[in-house]
Amino acid sequence: MKARVSTEWLSGCSGCHVAIVDLHEKLLNLVDDVEFVRVPVLMDEKGYPKADVGIVEGAVRSEHDRHALEKMRESCGKLLAFGTCASYGGPSGIGWLYGRDAILAKAYGGNVSDAKGSKVPGGASKLEESVIPIDEVVKIDRYLPGCPPHPYFIAIAIRDLLGVESIPLSPKTVCSECGRRMQKTEGAKLSKGEVSANDPDTCFLSQGVVCLGSVTLDRCKAQCPNKGVACAGCAGPSVDLIREPHLDIRSMVAKRMAMLTGIPEQEIRDYIQGDAKTFYSYALSSPVMYGKPTVELREWAAEAAK
Ligand code: SF4
Ligand code: SF4
Ligand code: SF4
Centroid of ligand 3 to alpha carbon of 225 (angstroms): 8
Ligand 2 binding residues, C-beta < 6 A: 174-175, 178, 180, 182, 203-205, 211, 213-214, 222, 225, 231
* Phi/psi of residue 96, nearest 5 degrees: -60, -25
Does the pLDDT of residue 103 top 80, yes or no? yes
How many whole angstroms separate alpha carbon 7 and alpha carbon 196? Answer: 36
How many whole angstroms separate alpha carbon 207 and alpha carbon 198? Answer: 8
What confidence score (pLDDT) does residue 227 get?
97
**76-82/60-62 β-pairing:** unpaired
Single out the residue of 108, 103, 137 nearest to residue 122, CA to CA. 108
Centroid of ligand 3 to alpha carbon of 33 (angstroms): 31
Name beta bridge partners: 6: 38, 54
Mutate to test the pocket of ligand 2, among 176, 182, 209, 220 (most ligand atoms within 8 A of CB): 182
Does the pLDDT of residue 121 top 90, yes or no? no
Whether the Cβ atoms of residue 285 and residue 88 lie closer than 8 Å to each other: yes
Mean pLDDT on 159-169: 84
Mutate to test the pocket of ligand 1, among 57, 234, 285 (most ligand atoms within 8 A of CB): 57
pLDDT tens for 28-69 read: 566 667 888 999 888 888 899 999 999 999 999 999 999 999
Number of Cβ within 10 Å of residue 252's Cβ equals: 18
In order of start, what are the domains of the chain with their CATH numbers? Answer: 3-95+128-161 (3.40.50.700), 174-305 (no CATH)
